Structure 1
């Protein structure tokens, strides 16, 4: 059985459809509600992948979110041992942080709702992003930003307001600033007044997300399917026999 550790940082920030997609591919999810005091495991024994979800924290905000320190330790262990990682929003920032990148609070213009993304040339050779549309949309809810990638990281996608939207660290760890698990329903439940203060109209955001939903769902479902396939492959094959370099020529179509 292939088990995925899922770290949830806020009550409303669960895996959503991403969890459904992973289960469709035969993976078992252990969702830890870290925000509620559920302890993280001491190590990754028994887990073949890590999904670190989003939340309104900086990756080193240990006083506000004391589970982030053990979370960073688990992501570091994954980087050192070859366990696949998918970091989303805060999870992407934490991945960048532990790998030697830089994250800044409230940096640049905020992003909310369905946001245009552009895949960079490096994405064409990436296991998760290859052959996805070059121009596509994803739901965002962001004020903080990764401002410097870790040394050697592959820069995969960008947006107008946030250059680092997706990246890969090493051979098996991906970070995405956007929310592949989110739907227009999530946007409709966000704080209307907070969005207005940032310059967004919630009704317009919901309408745009609904318009973009079919194409974005197809893209992100495929990305998650590829991640699940990679997780199964790394779990089932001896580590020494795996190329596992995150490049498209090792991936299924």
Structure 2
């Protein structure tokens, strides 16, 4: 049986697919990882799905991240051809931007650490978010955000600070602001001084994420597994 292939676009050195990648491989998918700064992403013609990861850029920040133009083209093609896509943080913002939504820099207060995400009633029939607990935590690390969804997008999850935490464009393209790929141990590498400038204690942020992990991890594993099912069906 041929493994469906997923094009994975990594946007900064430390931002690999991590456990989301592990879960996709466990579900029988093959990952082709492209690190944006090393070479521009290739076309999606030989891929059955696209996964675009996070990074400290705006979706059109071509001056600092020139590979983003090629990434936007890949997202556009995925939307046009009905190729399953999952965009995380910057990846979700790229999806919103390409589909006609609005993404803004430095919007409101930052979200950092393990944050409760509310799943909206509109997610009931969604392939990925339907049937999830009404509130589930996820790791956040952002201040830029989607401020207007593309026309016709399904709004799936929210927080008070950043309303558009998860959404779907069309039938098989999903974006999240939060990081399902990040486990609590990754927080140990975060900059304590930057956290302190936000009024946060690194040890407390880490301990809260560890406390939330036993309930949160199975939820995000199931969501990624559902995405893999969609990919296999479309392959």
TM-score for both structures, normalised by structure 1: 0.91
Provide the rounded CA distance (Å) in 1 between the counterparts of 2:211 and 2:221: 17
Within 5 Å, give how 1:70-89 maps onto structure 2: 70-89=70-89
Give the match for residue 14 of structure 1: 16
1:112 paired residue number: 112
Aligned to 2:178: 178
In structure 1, runs of 5+ residues without a counterpart are: 236-253
Q: How does 1:148-163 map to 2 (within 5 A)?
A: 148-163=148-163
Aligned residues of 2:40 and 2:70 also touching (Cα < 8 A): no
What SS is found at the alignment partner of 1:203? Answer: helix
Cα distance in 2 between the residues matched to 1:19 and 1:76: 22
Superposed CA RMSD: 0.7
- Structure 2 distance, partners of 1:186, 1:137, is 16
4+ long deviations beyond 4 Å: none
Q: Deviations over 1:112-137 (max 9, x none)?
A: 11001101111111100011101110
Give 1:39 shift: 2.8
Structure 2 length as normaliser, TM-score? 0.98
The gaps in structure 2 that reach 5 residues or longer are none
- Bigger Cα displacement from structure 2, 67-76 vs 192-201: 192-201
Query: Residues 35-63 of structure 1: CA distance to partner in whole angstroms, max 9, x if unpaired?
Result: 2x22311x211100000000000000000
Deviations 1:154-196 (A, max 9, x none): 0000012100000000111000000000011111111111111
CA deviations over 1:199-232 (Å, ceiling 9, x no partner): 2211111000000001110000000000000000
Corresponding residue to 2:32 among 30, 35, 49: 30
